[in-house]
Amino acid sequence: MSEPGVESQQDRFYRIKNQGIQVFDQEMRNHNLPEKVIAALHKHCDEYWGCVPIQEQMMEILMDEDLAKFSLKEANDARKIVAKKQMSRIPELREKFYSRFDSKNIADYVWDTCIAPSLGYSFSLNHSLPYTFVGIQCIYATILFPEVYWNTACLIVNSGAKDENDDGSTNYGKLARAIGDIRGRGINVTLPDINLSPFGFKPDEENNRILFGLKAMNKVGADVVNQIIANRPYDSLSDFLSKNKINRQVVVSLIKGGAFDNFGNRKKIMAQYLYHTMKKKTRLTMTQFNDIIKRKMYPSELSRAKSIYEFNRYLKAKCLSPNGGFKFDARARNFFANTFNLAIDTIDEKSWKKIYDKEMAPVKAWMKDNEISLLYELNKAIFQEEWEKYAQGTISKWEMDSLCFYYHEHDLADIKTEKYGVEDFFKLSEEPDIDYFFKKNGREIPVFNLHRICGTCIDKNKVKSTVTLLTTTGVVEVKFRKEHFALFDKQISTKMPDGSKKVLEKSWFTRGEMILVQGIRNGDTFIVKKYANKGLPHQLYKISNVDHKDHTMELIYERARGDMEDAE
């Protein structure tokens, strides 16, 4: 790297190395340098054939008593100015440097040969050695091993799954980019296999594919992976569960990611697992009546009993008297008066139990007569709740939740893009296309044509206000205004009557959420933007639902109502 028309350090190195160090010596003599200066420059530069590629080498030249006579502090300050390209301080450094020489001719030569080239680029010595080792390793791997080994190495580093003792976090943005690039080059990244997948990614040279590493899966830590590998082989999900003590979220993630696909249909395996691990009801007591009430499974003729059952729970939670029995508050007093046509402020436990047992008798009789069907419906409802909690969405969504990439089709692959004006980011011009100009304060301001892209959020950067979006054709970095990013990155919650907090809506940029954005392409970045008189009225929409039958999306642009708090 050098100025136009000036010989680069690489060319200079090649020329002098091939023609001999005497070329460097003759060059200095042609510039009429004194012998002591020639000797000093030979001492510092011969090792690199008349070049100064190392920052510490430049410092040694500056500190040489036969050259610039800088102190260590001055030389290190000069190194920082040059290395960090502090261009505003270059004139100051040059003036100080020239002041240390009696001859401008000598100063010109030393500056042009030893200082100026570093303004293009120079290595620090403590970087040069490890970079050299990495470079040699890369050359070795490229020449002697198929490309799949190099691709696998990149995935291992980017996923954080470096070795069995490393429980570092996974950078899903980098991982998605790496997988997208590799798959685009025809390298197949397989689904995880509970019996074959290693800790990290592993190359399968014979089949030109990469085995997905278990450590890269969401919610699967190093200890769990080591346990899974140690207890192999497995012939079924039941066999796996009998050999490993692993929490529910981890098993769900393994199923979603396809780790048990060799044992059968993925959704059937998920259903079996959730059913066998859910808290099933095996008999009916009055305790279960609360479950029946929550799921509205009681007949209308038991509405009075239902209210009294809930009143009994309220009494025991809020109205217990220190002297025994119950002391009514206003709410309890009103309910008792309206239900039993009796105005009282207190009641002893025995009297209340007599009333309560009488009112619950029809409930007990009903549950006894319908126990089998009630247990079936209750467990069916519990299973449905478990499914909605752990297993909603398509197989593609499951893969995004667990693996952060779509092995099957992208969840948005079949939407009607023309209906929403969605375009392929990678087919847009890299420079924003201008629609027209308008004048403001004597300046011409461009108005750009706006475009829309949509995809799945896989990563976010709070500092840069960016979201990494996995579209149907690749990974795109989306840039927001700082205040706009902060607004939609909030989690929204509300306070419940019992004082607990209920999350109403997570950040729109949570991994796995799908969004549609409007803006412009600028290089490799999509910049979110809107105008008052053109394009969509909002620059960001959350895709709340995808109808795969109609190939349509449900879009929302407003946040839920509630208390905002910072999301993770």
pLDDT tens figures, 196-226: 998 888 898 888 889 998 988 989 988 999 9
pLDDT at residue 173 is higher than 70: no
Q: How confident is the model at residue 99 (pLDDT cuts 50, 70, 90)?
A: very high
pLDDT at residue 475 is higher than 60: yes
- Tell me whether strands 563-566 and 552-556 are parallel, antiparallel or unpaired: unpaired
The per-residue pLDDT of the chain, averaged, comes to 91
The arithmetic mean of pLDDT across residues 480-494, rounded, is: 95
Helix axes 395-403, 248-256, angle to 10 degrees: 120
pLDDT at residue 158 is higher than 80: no
The arithmetic mean of pLDDT across residues 543-558, rounded, is: 96
Residue 158 near residue 178 (C-beta atoms within 8 A): yes
pLDDT at residue 1 is higher than 70: no
pLDDT at residue 389 is higher than 70: yes
The arithmetic mean of pLDDT across residues 103-122, rounded, is: 88
The arithmetic mean of pLDDT across residues 511-532, rounded, is: 96
* Rounded CA separation 280/36 (Å): 92
**Residue 253 corresponds to which amino acid?**
S
The arithmetic mean of pLDDT across residues 283-300, rounded, is: 94
Q: What is the pLDDT of residue 40?
A: 95
pTM score of the predicted model: 0.72
Q: What is the pLDDT of residue 152?
A: 87
**Residue 250 corresponds to which amino acid?**
V
pLDDT tens-digit map of 401-444: 998 889 999 999 999 999 999 999 999 999 999 999 999 888 99
* Rounded CA separation 97/91 (Å): 10
**Residue 117 corresponds to which amino acid?**
P
The arithmetic mean of pLDDT across residues 319-336, rounded, is: 95
Q: What is the pLDDT of residue 183?
A: 75
Q: What is the pLDDT of residue 499?
A: 76
The arithmetic mean of pLDDT across residues 34-60, rounded, is: 93
* Rounded CA separation 71/65 (Å): 10
Residues with Cβ within 8 Å of 25's Cβ and at least 6 positions away in sequence, in order, are 38, 42
pLDDT at residue 330 is higher than 90: yes
pLDDT tens-digit map of 222-280: 899 999 999 999 999 999 999 999 999 999 999 999 999 999 999 999 999 999 999 99
pLDDT at residue 128 is higher than 60: yes
Q: What is the pLDDT of residue 521?
A: 97
pLDDT tens-digit map of 27-39: 999 999 999 999 9
With vertex at residue 29, the alpha carbon angle to CA 26 and CA 35, rounded to the nearest 5 degrees, is 120
Q: What is the pLDDT of residue 545?
A: 94
Q: What is the pLDDT of residue 164?
A: 60
Lowest mean pLDDT among 285-289, 347-351, 439-443: 439-443
